[in-house]
Structure 1
């Protein structure tokens, strides 16, 4: 018997919650050939997620999953969100304040901005177009997709100041 996403989520949510982290995603897939289920549990926290937290959480989840009928048939991966995962909830936007994000609007428009304050389901984005800074407010419901952009240089102080304004 293989576990499904709903079962794993129901088992993992209280354990993750006890750590003060958020359960961000659960995926379950079947590995071809050996019949083992690959379970991925993705977590997130206001202050990020440390390796010790992931290790402790993996142990706690393993202990709980080992009580299930499918205990001999799974491989578990517990991981943090990472910057490549899309921003899909208000807390993702809040936790990435000050970072640059690539946004695709519901209308298909694409632009890049630095995440500022979040108020009433609207986010302030500082847009830098060839050195000209502007602030754009976008409703989260109007965002089709958004992903953090990895930066190798330092952002301009002016851009950061605008992103920090409330």
Structure 2
């Protein structure tokens, strides 16, 4: 059974990223003209600031230089975080998105369609969400099992009030 380059890179880099207190979320090797770009996405429960990104980038670069995982040709290493509108694919992603507004694509078994709701709580079985009220109606609570979610993506909120403003 052969492994792909991404799988080999993940096996090589994941322990190093973990030793830096981060999770390796994604690896992608893309060709841009004659050059290749290795994109590595990392994250943690408390986020990853620029200093942590720089530290892990230097460590990954050194590890890649001492191995032949990227082959002979030139490549550019890009290390970053998932971004504001990240897809939620792992349990830890849902936990990290608590209090965030998320667009859910529901499975056919759950009635299909889209649901935009705020994640209130996540446990091993599913997600407690609050569906915003429409036209002056109060928000409603709803429970989603992980099996009911086909896709989920965090939504950017520009006008969200923080809890102190809401209580005032």
CA distance in 2, matches of 1:129, 1:104: 19
1:88-107 map, 5 Å = 88-107=89-108
Residue-by-residue CA offset, 1:17-62 (whole Å, 9 max, x unaligned): 0011101111112233x2x321111011011110000001110000
CA gap 1:156/1:52 in 2 versus in 1, 3 angstroms: closer
Q: Tell me the secondary structure at the aligned position of residue 153 of structure 1.
A: coil
Query: 1:109 and 1:156, CA in 2 relative to 1: closer, same or farther beyond 3 A?
Result: farther
Structure 1 counterpart of 2:5 = 4
When the two structures are superposed, what TM-score results if normalisation uses the length of structure 1?
0.86
How far has the Cα of 1:140 moved from its partner? 1.3
**Does the aligned pair in 2 maintain the 1:65–1:71 contact within 8 Å?**
no
Q: 1:135 aligns with which of 141, 145, 151?
A: 141
The aligned runs of 1:9-158 (5 Å cut-off) are 9-32=10-33, 34=34, 36-69=35-68, 70=71, 72-107=73-108, 108-130=112-134, 131-155=137-161
Q: List runs of 5+ in structure 1 lacking aligned partners.
A: 162-166
Q: Provide the rounded CA distance (Å) in 2 between the counterparts of 1:74 and 1:10.
A: 19
- Deviation, 1:121, is 2.4
**Partners of 2:59 and 2:73 in 1: how far apart?**
16
SS of structure 1 residue aligned to 2:66: coil
Instruction: Flag structure 2 segments of 5+ consecutive residues without an equivalent.
Output: none
Describe the SS at the equivalent of 1:113: strand
Alignment deviations for residues 39-88 of structure 1 (CA, whole Å, 9 cap, x no partner): 11101101111000000111000001011232652211101111222101
Please give the secondary structure, in 1, of the residue aligned with 2:85: coil
Tell me the TM-score normalized by structure 2: 0.85
Aligned length: 155
Secondary structure (helix, strand or coil) at the match of 1:66 reads helix
Greater CA drift, 146-155 or 60-69: 146-155
